[in-house]
Structure 1
Amino acid sequence: MTDTANTTHVTTSNVGALIRTGVAATVAASIATMAVAAAGNLAGISLELGGAPIPVTGFGVLTAVFSLIGVIIAASLARFARRPRLTFVRTTVVLTVLSLVPDVIADAGAATKTLLMLTHLVAAAIMIPAVARRLAA
């Protein structure tokens, strides 16, 4: 009996589709976090952190930066992980939870902290499923 290794090779088209999906989800997540921040601000929630105002566009920029890092993680896992989808979901859920820690300890009011955490969760809710769908199970 001969054992053969069952390896998965990621093709360029798969990585391309993953990146295209990731970039589209990044744009959607950035717009969504800016909308949540703007809505919260319109509702009277302060966007000040430690006495310094956070511009609404800052939410979109930071969402884009960290979302694109997530796409890079996904592309790496697609190439090297045995179970890329499961590994990606587990990794990004842990990173999302860790991203809430600075919000909890931030020098801001409770409503502002809650709004900040909500933007993280909104971005994750858009990014994680969209990118995970493009990864092999």
Structure 2
Amino acid sequence: MGANWGGESVTTQHVFPSTLESVDQAEQTVLDAARQAGFPEDDLHGIAMAVRECVINAVTHGNRYDSEKTVRVSVTRTAEDLTVRIADQGEGFDPEALPDPLAEENLLRSSGRGVFLVRAFMDEYTVRRIEPSGTEVTIVKRRDMQA
């Protein structure tokens, strides 16, 4: 199952406005790339959920819905994996400082599980500060080469 890219790397870059409508567009863009790379349906669901959470965070927490700011999404697919970089123009954050979503006092909260879900669905999750302002989240899903 899946495409054979012969070791070549294909990267596409996209810029979205800081609106919740952009979340669906970004999710669909990444899903199209993941399908083209041959990821199975089970992985596609997790990839979609992870991208959705990251873009929502970029729009709401990073750019704070500022119409002057954008969310940049870069998608790279290789024979081995899919790498998605999502960058906002906000003030940045430390994912290690986030409250534990599984702590008893947080279990009934209506938010606060996005990063937890992204880490659960993806093989890698990294955050870095970008200059002059912003945060770039990189998520990676490796293909099951046994398939």
**TM-score bracket for this pair, using the shorter chain length:** 0.3 to 0.5
Structure with bigger RCO (C-alpha 8 Å, 6+ apart): 1
Give the greater-gyration-radius structure (CA): 1
Structure with more of its chain in helix, by fraction: 1
